[in-house]
Amino acid sequence: MKTLYLVRHAKAGWSADAASDFERTLSERGITEAHFMARLVHERDPRPDMLVTSPAVRALTTAETFAGVFDIPPESIIQNMEIYHGGASELLDIVRSLPDDAGSVMLFGHNPVMSELANRLGDMKGEAMETCSVVRLDFQSNRWSEAGPGKGLMVWHEHPEKRHTR
Q: Which tens digit of pLDDT belongs to each residue from 69-91?
A: 999 999 999 999 999 999 999 99
CB 82 within 8 A of CB 94: yes
Domain count, the chain: 1
pLDDT at position 18: 62
pTM: 0.94
Of 100-109, 130-139, 152-161, least confident by mean pLDDT is: 152-161
Which CATH number characterizes residue 105's domain?
3.40.50.1240
Residue of 58, 44, 54, 51 lying closest to 73 (CA atoms): 51
Q: Do the annotations mark residue 143 as ligand-binding?
A: no
